[in-house]
Amino acid sequence: MHGLCFGELALVFEQMLAAPGCPAIPVIDPIEAADSLLHRERYFARLSEAIENHHPGTCQWTIPNSATIKTAGTPKADNVDALRVQLASSHVKLPVVCKFVGLTTDAHQMAIASTVAGLAEFVAEAPVGSTIVAQQFVNHGGVLHKIFVIGSAVHDVQRKSIRDLSDKDTETGLVRFDSSTISKATSTSPLHQAAAAAATTTATTTARSISVNTLQRLAQEVGDCLQLSLFGIDVVIDSDTGENVVIDVNYFPGYVGMPNVPEHVVRLVEARCRK
């Protein structure tokens, strides 16, 4: 199976599980559920439905508005008006974070577009045929919550993130960055600020903590919505509203900073085998 992409591998395993005579094999997470996380626009649509199914005012988390953009290789000047209309129809306000969708070599290459012209530049220079999500940026004090989930075990690890953006920041139009240089424990970036580094102090950590009950409920609701047990949720706390905002979900993350990972995985596997 050397050289097969994720989708092809998923098909091979599905065929194997469905083959006559194949023994019953417990599956931790459905292959199609894990595959769905390669398509940001799809799983965010499902998260949006989950939020709407709550009674008004009872959901303890939200998601940013976003627009899905298909690249066609058109020049920047030809994209501006169409993108302005698309952002408006999706209720997306600038600035936005531009992210690629799917398994691509450009997956970590992102940008903050503070003008429609900046977004048009990013789209025009993207590979033809790729899909981009323009996600409304949320000021969050430069702190990202990496919420790691292994079955019923949930752990919150705080990392540095992009600083709150000011009017001066939005004058640049487009700022490109590699996401791997932003929120790893050892990351350093011009997009950080001194206040973000101070997030390790007790006072700041307390101010930006998410309650245990909220963490458990968030993990349960996102896991139920996406049919997953091994995943990570990227959450920021809106500097203006105090809302918990889910900005990304990842399948089987590195779990760096979560204690007792092997033990939690073993418990999850044992629980599935007993079903």
Show binding-site residues.
Answer: 234, 248, 250
3-state secondary structure of 123: helix
Measure the CA–CA gap between 49 and 39, rounded to whole angstroms: 16
Task: Tell me 34's DSSP state.
Answer: H
DSSP 3: T
CB of 17 closer than 8 Å to CB of 28 = no
Q: Indicate the annotated binding residues for Mg(2+).
A: 234, 248, 250
* Residues forming beta bridges with residue 110, ordered by sequence position: 177
Distance CA 235, CA 216 (A): 13
End-to-end Cα spacing for the chain:
30
3-state secondary structure of 249: strand
DSSP letter at 90 equals: T
* Euclidean distance between CA atoms 225 and 246, whole angstroms: 13
Decide if 142 contacts 196 (C-beta within 8 A). yes
d(C-alpha 188, C-alpha 161), whole Å: 10
Cα separation, 236 vs 121, in Å, equals 27
